[in-house]
Amino acid sequence: MSVVGRLRAVGLRLEARGDTLVVEPRSALTDELRAFIRENKPAILTELETLERRRGRLERELADHPEQRVAADVADAPVRPEGGPPVSVVIAVRTVAGIVSAELHVPRERFDAALFMRTLTETGKPS
């Protein structure tokens, strides 16, 4: 699991503000988690920056193509569903309220690329 994924798995929200890392809720931080964050801060900031770039690219894609309802970016999709880190999926969806995006971490052994693409294609069709 990624460093950001490990921290989010215990209920932490992470935000990069330049070189500053904001972690909430503070009440959930243990000494062990604080030490982990200090040791991995550069990797955490890099991962958050990469996720933000992926989100931004998908949101721009939808903004540039008003007929498109959904866009996705899948990183590290397995050729075969063997053990390993989760598959990182960033998805952007056009809603009545605007474009929203999110990230998903799918267990590698549960990720089915063909099913994902079929679902994405069906979801993206105009209604």
pLDDT of residue 80: 62
d(CA 12, CA 26): 8
Total domains in the fold of the chain: 1
pLDDT at 123 over 80: no
Which residue range is the domain that position 119 belongs to?
3-124
What is the three-class DSSP state of 4? helix
Distance (Å) of CA 8 to CA 12, 19, 45, 51, 59 = 5, 19, 14, 14, 23
Distance (Å) of CA 64 to CA 1, 60, 68, 94, 109 = 33, 6, 9, 12, 34
What is the three-class DSSP state of 69? coil
pLDDT at 126 over 60: no
pLDDT 10s digits, 58-79:
999 999 999 999 999 988 766 6
pLDDT 10s digits, 15-59:
999 899 999 999 999 999 999 999 999 999 999 999 999 999 999
Distance (Å) of CA 21 to CA 14, 27, 30, 44, 102 = 7, 16, 16, 8, 19
Residue 1 vs residue 17, higher pLDDT:
17
Prediction pTM value:
0.79
Residue 97 vs residue 124, higher pLDDT:
97
pLDDT of residue 75: 80
